[in-house]
Amino acid sequence: MAKQAQTTAGRAITFAQAINEALAEEMRRDPKVFILGEDVAEAGTPFKVLSGLVKEFGKERVIDSPISEAGIAGICVGAAMTGMRPVVDIMFGDFATLVMDQMVNQAAKTHYMSGGKLTVPMVMRTTLGATRRSAAQHSQSLHAWFSHIPGLKVVLPATPYDAKGLLKTAIRDDNPVVFFEDKMMYQQKGVVPAQDYTIPFGVADVKRAGKDITLVATSSMVEVSLKAAEILQASNISAEVVDVRTTVPLDKETLIASAQKTTRALVVDEGYERYGVTAEIASVIADGAFYYLDAPVKRMGAMDVPVPFSPVLEDQTVPTPESVAETARKLCGKM
Amino acid sequence: MAKQAQTTAGRAITFAQAINEALAEEMRRDPKVFILGEDVAEAGTPFKVLSGLVKEFGKERVIDSPISEAGIAGICVGAAMTGMRPVVDIMFGDFATLVMDQMVNQAAKTHYMSGGKLTVPMVMRTTLGATRRSAAQHSQSLHAWFSHIPGLKVVLPATPYDAKGLLKTAIRDDNPVVFFEDKMMYQQKGVVPAQDYTIPFGVADVKRAGKDITLVATSSMVEVSLKAAEILQASNISAEVVDVRTTVPLDKETLIASAQKTTRALVVDEGYERYGVTAEIASVIADGAFYYLDAPVKRMGAMDVPVPFSPVLEDQTVPTPESVAETARKLCGKM
Amino acid sequence: MVDSDKLLRFYRQMLKIRLFEEQVNQLYLGAKMPGLAHLYIGQEAVAVGVCEALRADDYITSTHRGHGHCLAKGAAIDKMFAELLGKADGYCRGKGGSMHIADQERGNLGANAIVGGSAGIATGAALSAKMRGTDQVAVCFFGEGALGQGLLYECMNMAALWKLPVIYLCENNMYNEYTHYSETTAGTIEGRAQAFGIPTETIEGQDVELVYRTASKLIERARKSDGPSFLLCNTYRFHGHHVGDIDRAYYRPKKEEEEWKERRDPVKLLADKLVRSEIVDRQFLAGTESEIAGEIKSGADFALNAPYPDATEVDQDVYA
Amino acid sequence: MVDSDKLLRFYRQMLKIRLFEEQVNQLYLGAKMPGLAHLYIGQEAVAVGVCEALRADDYITSTHRGHGHCLAKGAAIDKMFAELLGKADGYCRGKGGSMHIADQERGNLGANAIVGGSAGIATGAALSAKMRGTDQVAVCFFGEGALGQGLLYECMNMAALWKLPVIYLCENNMYNEYTHYSETTAGTIEGRAQAFGIPTETIEGQDVELVYRTASKLIERARKSDGPSFLLCNTYRFHGHHVGDIDRAYYRPKKEEEEWKERRDPVKLLADKLVRSEIVDRQFLAGTESEIAGEIKSGADFALNAPYPDATEVDQDVYA
Ligand SMILES: Cc1ncc(C[n+]2csc(CCOP(=O)(O)OP(=O)(O)O)c2C)c(N)n1
Ligand SMILES: Cc1ncc(C[n+]2csc(CCOP(=O)(O)OP(=O)(O)O)c2C)c(N)n1
Ligand SMILES: [Mg+2]
Ligand SMILES: [Mg+2]
């Protein structure tokens, strides 16, 4: 694959560095790009993802804001409508609750409502993922909400390579894009090309080829699914792992084709399971591969509970390689 | 059915009156129940749903608020935690964007986070539905968002009878309940018993029995599906119409049993189709009835566009009896 | 002082809004307009006074009661009517309607059906102007009801911190829909901006000359990078909250309405001044009126005869 | 004036918080505590001064930096440690953790991990008290960072309109995480409440007696149905934003920290006063300290040895 060729020429960097590089390169390329958020400048965010950017670009382009999520999202909408390309930093995905009006009633609808005249080229970067012992208000994965709204694009990178390429695409896109980063992944390393590259939206990535079952995964659950595939290998089950990469636009063709080939599919995501993104993806596959499937499409999301603090409780709420492998095995009729 | 027996003893009242009566009766029964919202008192809301309540209960229990959706939702959370049973009125469902933090990070999680000690017995009443020529910010049906969140219950009544019985249940429930009313339905009449009654959550209602296909519908789409069933009748297709009534809790058993019987299912809802509630319901049926289905489960939601103003555009965005019948006919292999 | 040519221009603009809105009401009553509309009649001096003080490339954001702002910023009558009727020739190809008209070419970033929803947009436009190194200014129009929305305070704080060229323009017409503002507004309105160190002015919003002069001063201030300001204009809507709000005695005394219409009608007040100052006579004004009435009529006719958008447009322009 | 018994009680309570938090830090450093915690060390006089002025049935809402409020309102040390360690004996059966401890029996409606997120809850509790006809009062604790959240303004407006018995208690420790409040706060803090007609007081938050006296006055006011008030306490957090925030020179000068610790340590200040006023001597205070240290140690030991909740509890109490 082209990707392989590219990556061999690259360097191993962390997911956090990939984000940082994407921002730095885009800010160098285009003076209209700027960052607005809480503790983004000297602190470089609590996750240190933006470290160093303020040094290169100054406090005028890496702007520390008050703790005003709705306000900063709204300001970015206005800036985007008038010639800038803002990147707003919403520290925890749980605070998405505070920006819904600006993202959904304003950013998402402006282009359409104006008959195509106004555009809102902004990116909202935020986080998802549990198991950090951060409890119910700092552990949610709320990408399903944004995926539901026409006018928004939603990106869920699962590797440093994808993170960098997809973030550059997001910044160059003329629409509001919501970009979710898994907090637990920031320190994971992966090979990333030295030269400029972008990854198109709406193209799922087969992260591992297989023939007995398709594991469709997003973000944090891609790695979990790859590990599950390893476990399944030992039971002689060959799992294909497909990373959707963007829930909107969704690469239905690749997902359906994979399920048609393997005849079985399990969709894994870290958002709450009920009414979550696994429901849409499973429906699409169950419909598109109906005449090929040997078993119902199954789904695994986070347990439908507010994320508990206690480690013994929290660890049960998120799919693990073992639980994914077990469900997959059952689905293949091998228990 | 028990319901039939009851309703013959009743009177025909509008959907709006059903809501009004439920509130009045619960406020008489329990002094802890009160209403907080914009223009709820003398104006009785722009939809006149609450007309007369302030006369009976006074401005201390039917409280006009500033235009502060987040604030009033939050105040109701606090009041509910300390012994009251508030009903907050969020005029248009589109303004749900403003209350997500209070409903999702506070109301929904408090009981769990406190280890079961605190409760939040509040109801958020709001609206859904398009085709009122109200454009993109006054026409959304955002119940999918709330349905996604553990800790919330979500109610979608489709008749005056259901509206009254379900609202009483909502008010007596010890959890935060989000109650969606279709704006276009307020003037529709239906028979409602004279005596006190409640309808349990999590019990779907077979609004019409049939044997060739199951139409699963919510709220505004129940009537549309019933009309579609009439149309299908003419083509000798017998459609069963199942009203889910509450998306959380969801009566999976009834939905699956119906689909197993008819072997075909079409899920119809007025929220945006993508990542909407039809996805969850379709997934549940496709899984639960897998070995019975003769065709893939299909879904119809609102078109994935911000709701346009122009009637010629808007009318295309919502499923109609004709479009539902057509999809159902195709699904039955009869085109 | 404002010269007489300008005053005459103000008069034309205000009258245009007045007659436009009366025509909108007729379209509604004649069941020719889909949905509802919130008429700006009674408040014309605010939009005109402010927008006449702005440059074409300055920005405004508007509200559900936005036709006046839109016309004042220079929008064309025919394209506005076309939008209100959901026609393809409308400003938004019929997709926005009354509550979402935007007119990018004249810096109108759009009406907004979320009360207070444009505070971020206007503030962001001001930040953008500053970052791009232009001296553009943004005016954020809102009703006193928007003071209930937290977003406004978040944005005023940032505008003050970063000295952004934005003017928060509060039109206090005394009612939040069907509720008197005194029931929803604690303390003072000016205090809401002063808390953030934002200078405020409070004026009679029915006096277009005063609005123009005050706005000019604050706009100049913003243009010179001296930061945001807050302008409170006391005004009144002569009609109901929307075109369908006919029986309103339960929330607003008829006498109050009559008094405003008689004594504080901004169009009448300016007409009287023009005549009193002998700038023009009544006959001239009558001529102006019939001229504008003609424009309004032909604009409405254009819209009534214009085609609807093609059905296939429904899923166009969801994404850029 | 505050009598000496009370002062001694304040001292015990403040010291309890101090030693509790130091123990929390040790648990973190020893990798015995899951996740992070935000220490209240340096701000003890605020929580104690306020909560000592409250009745047991009065309400408080708290923040991510909430251990101090919780202890001051009367929570038990052992159950708090158990919660911090995610144990079944914790206040929330381990489900809440540091940022969500609630203690309903003592009117603590909960810490909150959403900055400003409890403004509605406290205001609603005050509305509830009023509607139920009790004379309970609610105190809404928040850091100056919460002034950035619009919700607070929406709630203050309603509290003022409806004369609710709520006190907005702003602890200005000068930092929003890693950013000095002057970079995020335009105008004045007091102005934010005064805009709504809410009376404000600003005091040195390190003087527990002053906090107690001022809070008592405002609480009395609220109890007598005279409405809400706003109390700004100037204070300082001696440690990092959270236990893991060790290298903080880039956002806060070491010298500033040292000065506060030396000159404005609320525990030291009160100890000095107790000795200076000859209420007790140093030896007595040492005895008190070792007594409390014992309680802390046994509380921590209890928690360390307590069982985790049963795995099956994970989906219990999602719904009541
Ligand atoms: C967030 C939000 N809440 C409620 C409404 C419903 N609503 C529309 S206009 C209005 C009153 C607005 O009053 P004001 O801001 O004073 O403007 P005016 O109508 O007086 O021009 C309300 C409550 C809305 N559109 N948006
Ligand atoms: C809505 C929201 N935004 C951001 C955060 C992340 N955050 C946690 S604490 C904090 C700083 C709070 O500052 P302040 O209110 O002054 O309280 P302090 O930490 O100083 O006690 C921030 C930004 C959050 N928890 N909630
Ligand atoms: Mg008004
Ligand atoms: Mg602080």
CA distances to A66, B281, C152 from A72, in Å? 8, 36, 11
Q: Which pLDDT score, from 0 to 100, does residue A8 have?
A: 56
CA angle in degrees (0–180, nearest 5) for D155-D156-D160: 120
What distance separates the 2 farthest-apart alpha carbons in chain A? 59
Which chain A residues have a beta carbon less than 8 Å from that of B305?
A: 112, 150
Q: Which residue has the tokens 């019985």?
A: B165
Q: Break chain D into its structural domains and give their ranges.
A: 4-303
Q: Does the beta carbon of B47 sit less than 6 angstroms from any atom of ligand 1? A: no
Q: Supply φ then ψ for residue A218, to 5 degrees.
A: -125, 150
Q: Does D318 touch chain A (CB under 8 A)?
A: yes
Ligand showing the shortest atom-to-Cα distance for residue B37: 1
Q: How far B145 CA sits from the closest chain D CA (Å)?
A: 17
Query: Which pair of tokens denotes residue B124?
Result: 């958020």
Q: Break chain A into its structural domains and give their ranges.
A: 13-192, 205-331
* Closest protein CA for atom 9 of ligand 1: C177
Asked if D154 lies within 8 A of C150 by C-beta distance, the reply is yes
Does pLDDT of D228 surpass 50? yes
Chain C, nearest residue to A73 by Cα:
C120
CA distances to B91, B325, C36, C304, D71 from C31, in Å? 25, 31, 10, 12, 65
b/e per residue A285-319 (b: at least 16 CB within 10 A): bbbbbbebbebbbbbbbbbbbbbbbbbbbbebbbb
Among C149, C161, C184, beta carbon nearest to D150: C149
| Sign of the C-alpha dihedral computed for residues A91, A96, A97 and A98 taken in this order | positive
Q: Does the beta carbon of C114 sit less than 6 angstroms from any atom of ligand 1? A: yes
Q: Which pLDDT score, from 0 to 100, does residue B6 have?
A: 47
Asked if D186 lies within 8 A of C161 by C-beta distance, the reply is yes
Among A61, A68, A110, beta carbon nearest to C158: A68
Ligand showing the shortest atom-to-Cα distance for residue C65: 1
- Determine the average pLDDT of the residues in D177-197: 98
Phi-psi region of B162 (alpha: psi -120 to 50; beta: other; left: phi over 0): alpha
Ligand showing the shortest atom-to-Cα distance for residue C43: 1
Q: The domain B13-192: what is its CATH number?
A: 3.40.50.970
Q: Which pLDDT score, from 0 to 100, does residue B95 have?
A: 98
Tens of pLDDT, residue by residue over A7-21, are 457 899 999 999 999
The answer as to CATH 1.10.3470.10 being correct for domain B205-331 is: no
CA angle in degrees (0–180, nearest 5) for B233-B237-B243: 80
> ipTM score here?
0.98
Q: Does B134 touch chain D (CB under 8 A)?
A: no
Contacting B residues, span 67-96, partner chain C, CB-CB under 8 Å: 67-68, 70-71, 94-95
Residue among A126, A33, A31, A22 nearest A80 (CA): A33
Tens of pLDDT, residue by residue over A192-230, are 999 999 999 999 999 999 999 999 999 999 999 999 999
Tens of pLDDT, residue by residue over C247-267, are 999 999 999 999 999 999 999
Q: Which pLDDT score, from 0 to 100, does residue A10 have?
A: 85
Note whether B13-192 and B205-331 share their fold: yes
Contacting A residues, span 251-290, partner chain D, CB-CB under 8 Å: none
Query: Which pair of tokens denotes residue B91?
Result: 């005029």
Which chain B residues have a beta carbon less than 8 Å from that of D102?
A: 110, 113-114, 117-118
- Determine the average pLDDT of the residues in D216-235: 98
Among B39, B137, B309, beta carbon nearest to C95: B309
Q: Does D198 touch chain C (CB under 8 A)?
A: yes
CA of A95, closest atom in ligand 2: 1
* Closest protein CA for atom 8 of ligand 2: D115
**Residues of A classed as catalytic:** 69, 138
Q: Which pLDDT score, from 0 to 100, does residue A335 have?
A: 65
Q: Does B206 touch chain A (CB under 8 A)?
A: no
Q: Which pLDDT score, from 0 to 100, does residue A3 have?
A: 47
> Cα(D145) to centroid of ligand 2, in Å?
6
Q: Which residues pair with A311 in a beta bridge?
A: none
Q: Does the beta carbon of C65 sit less than 6 angstroms from any atom of ligand 1? A: yes
Q: Does the beta carbon of B67 sit less than 6 angstroms from any atom of ligand 1? A: yes
CA of C143, closest atom in ligand 1: 15
Strands (E) located in chain D: 59-61, 138-143, 166-172, 175-176, 179-180, 200-204, 229-234
Among A109, A275, A288, beta carbon nearest to B306: A109
Q: Are A71 and C151 in contact (CB under 8 A)?
A: yes
CA of C144, closest atom in ligand 1: 16
Q: Are D308 and D88 in contact (CB under 8 A)?
A: yes
Q: Does D184 touch chain A (CB under 8 A)?
A: yes
Does pLDDT of C214 surpass 50? yes
Residues C314 and B305: their CA atoms lie apart, in Å, by: 8
Which chain C residues have a beta carbon less than 8 Å from that of D158?
A: 186
Q: What percentage of residues in chain A have a pLDDT greater than 90? A: 96
Which chain A residues have a beta carbon less than 8 Å from that of B296?
A: 286-288, 290
Among D35, D146, D311, beta carbon nearest to A133: D35
Q: Which of D115, D149, D151, D153 to mutate to test the interface with C (most CBs of C within 10 A)?
A: D153
Q: The domain C4-303: what is its CATH number?
A: 3.40.50.970
Does pLDDT of A2 surpass 70? no
Strands B205-208 and B239-243, bridge-based pairing: antiparallel
The set of residues, in sequence order, having a beta carbon less than 8 Å from that of A292 and lying 6+ positions away, is A259, A260, A261, A263
Q: Does the N-terminal peptide bond of residue A249 adopt cis geometry, omega within 30 degrees of 0? A: yes
Q: Does the beta carbon of A95 sit less than 6 angstroms from any atom of ligand 2? A: yes
Q: Does B9 touch chain C (CB under 8 A)?
A: no
CA of B98, closest atom in ligand 1: 1
Q: What percentage of residues in chain D have a pLDDT greater than 70? A: 100
Type and span of the H or E element at B214: strand B213-217
Q: Which pLDDT score, from 0 to 100, does residue B7 have?
A: 47
What torsion do the CA atoms of B4, B9, B13, B17 make, to the nearest 10 degrees?
A: -100
Tens of pLDDT, residue by residue over D2-30, are 899 999 999 999 999 999 999 999 999 99
Neighbours of chain D (3+ CB pairs under 8 A): A, B, C
* DSSP 8-class letter at B227: H
Asked if C183 lies within 8 A of D195 by C-beta distance, the reply is no
**pTM attached to this predicted model:** 0.98
CA of D181, closest atom in ligand 2: 16
pLDDT along chain B (335 residues), means of 10: 52 98 98 98 97 98 98 98 98 98 98 98 98 98 98 98 98 98 98 97 98 98 98 97 98 98 98 98 98 98 98 98 98 86
Asked if A278 lies within 8 A of B283 by C-beta distance, the reply is yes
Which chain B residues have a beta carbon less than 8 Å from that of C113?
A: 134-138
Query: Which pair of tokens denotes residue C251?
Result: 């929330």
Q: In what order do the strands lie in the sheet with B177-182?
A: B62-64, B33-37, B85-90, B123-128, B177-182, B153-155, B246-248
Tens of pLDDT, residue by residue over C164-193, are 999 999 999 999 999 999 999 999 999 999
Q: Are D141 and D60 in contact (CB under 8 A)?
A: yes
Type and span of the H or E element at A205: strand A205-208
Q: Which pLDDT score, from 0 to 100, does residue A6 have?
A: 47
Q: Which pLDDT score, from 0 to 100, does residue D46 have?
A: 99
> Cα(B126) to centroid of ligand 1, in Å?
16
Which chain A residues have a beta carbon less than 8 Å from that of D93?
A: 310
SS3 C317: coil
* Closest protein CA for atom 9 of ligand 2: D177
Which chain A residues have a beta carbon less than 8 Å from that of B297?
A: 283, 286-287
Q: Which pLDDT score, from 0 to 100, does residue D1 have?
A: 75
Q: Which pLDDT score, from 0 to 100, does residue C1 have?
A: 75
> Cα(C87) to centroid of ligand 1, in Å?
26
**Residues of B classed as catalytic:** 69, 138
